[in-house]
Amino acid sequence: MTPTILASAALCLFVLSMESCKKDYTCKCSKTYTSGTGSTTIDYSVYTYKDTRARAETRCNENTKSGSDLFGNYSINCQIK
Protein backbone atom coordinates (compact mmCIF):
# COMPACT_ATOMS: atom_id res chain seq x y z
CA MET A 1 0.00 0.00 0.00
CA THR A 2 2.89 2.38 0.68
CA PRO A 3 4.13 2.23 -2.95
CA THR A 4 0.63 3.16 -4.12
CA ILE A 5 0.53 6.18 -1.82
CA LEU A 6 4.00 7.26 -2.94
CA ALA A 7 3.07 6.88 -6.61
CA SER A 8 -0.13 8.88 -6.06
CA ALA A 9 1.79 11.63 -4.26
CA ALA A 10 4.38 11.77 -7.04
CA LEU A 11 1.65 11.98 -9.67
CA CYS A 12 -0.06 14.82 -7.78
CA LEU A 13 3.21 16.75 -7.52
CA PHE A 14 3.85 16.27 -11.23
CA VAL A 15 0.38 17.51 -12.20
CA LEU A 16 0.70 20.53 -9.90
CA SER A 17 4.12 21.40 -11.27
CA MET A 18 2.86 21.26 -14.86
CA GLU A 19 -0.07 23.51 -14.04
CA SER A 20 2.20 26.09 -12.44
CA CYS A 21 4.18 26.43 -15.70
CA LYS A 22 1.16 27.98 -17.36
CA LYS A 23 1.14 31.75 -17.28
CA ASP A 24 0.13 34.66 -19.47
CA TYR A 25 2.27 35.26 -22.54
CA THR A 26 1.71 38.24 -24.84
CA CYS A 27 1.96 37.72 -28.58
CA LYS A 28 2.50 40.96 -30.50
CA CYS A 29 2.04 41.09 -34.25
CA SER A 30 3.15 43.69 -36.75
CA LYS A 31 2.03 44.11 -40.34
CA THR A 32 4.58 45.18 -42.94
CA TYR A 33 3.50 46.49 -46.32
CA THR A 34 6.06 46.37 -49.12
CA SER A 35 6.08 48.30 -52.35
CA GLY A 36 8.57 49.48 -54.93
CA THR A 37 9.35 52.55 -52.82
CA GLY A 38 10.07 50.70 -49.55
CA SER A 39 8.18 49.21 -46.65
CA THR A 40 5.91 50.40 -43.87
CA THR A 41 5.40 48.54 -40.58
CA ILE A 42 2.45 49.05 -38.26
CA ASP A 43 1.33 47.41 -35.01
CA TYR A 44 -1.32 44.89 -36.01
CA SER A 45 -2.67 42.91 -33.06
CA VAL A 46 -1.94 41.63 -29.57
CA TYR A 47 -2.98 38.24 -28.21
CA THR A 48 -2.64 36.86 -24.70
CA TYR A 49 -2.21 33.12 -24.18
CA LYS A 50 -2.36 31.41 -20.79
CA ASP A 51 -0.21 28.41 -21.52
CA THR A 52 3.31 27.06 -21.31
CA ARG A 53 5.93 29.13 -23.11
CA ALA A 54 6.48 26.53 -25.84
CA ARG A 55 2.75 26.20 -26.57
CA ALA A 56 2.25 29.99 -26.47
CA GLU A 57 5.09 30.46 -28.99
CA THR A 58 3.54 27.85 -31.27
CA ARG A 59 0.12 29.49 -31.07
CA CYS A 60 1.67 32.91 -31.65
CA ASN A 61 3.59 31.74 -34.71
CA GLU A 62 0.35 30.39 -36.21
CA ASN A 63 -0.72 34.04 -36.67
CA THR A 64 2.19 34.73 -39.05
CA LYS A 65 1.06 35.01 -42.67
CA SER A 66 1.35 37.03 -45.86
CA GLY A 67 -1.04 38.20 -48.52
CA SER A 68 -2.44 41.30 -50.16
CA ASP A 69 -5.29 43.73 -49.59
CA LEU A 70 -6.37 47.16 -50.81
CA PHE A 71 -3.12 48.70 -49.57
CA GLY A 72 -0.79 46.21 -51.26
CA ASN A 73 1.27 43.16 -50.36
CA TYR A 74 1.85 42.52 -46.67
CA SER A 75 3.39 40.13 -44.19
CA ILE A 76 2.28 39.66 -40.60
CA ASN A 77 5.02 38.68 -38.16
CA CYS A 78 4.26 37.70 -34.58
CA GLN A 79 6.43 36.98 -31.57
CA ILE A 80 6.13 36.49 -27.83
CA LYS A 81 7.10 39.55 -25.78
| Per-residue model confidence (pLDDT) at position 11 | 59
| Per-residue model confidence (pLDDT) at position 42 | 94
| Per-residue model confidence (pLDDT) at position 35 | 84
| Per-residue model confidence (pLDDT) at position 62 | 96
- Identify whether the C-beta of residue 63 lies closer than 8 Å to the C-beta of residue 46: no
Per-residue pLDDT of 5-53, as tens digits, reads 666 656 555 555 555 578 999 999 999 999 888 899 999 999 999 999 9
Count the neighbouring beta carbons within 10 Å of the beta carbon of residue 25: 19
**Over 90: is that where the pLDDT of 66 sits?**
yes
Boundaries of every domain in the chain = 22-80
Phi-psi bin for 38: left (phi > 0), alpha (psi -120 to 50), beta?
left
| Per-residue model confidence (pLDDT) at position 71 | 85
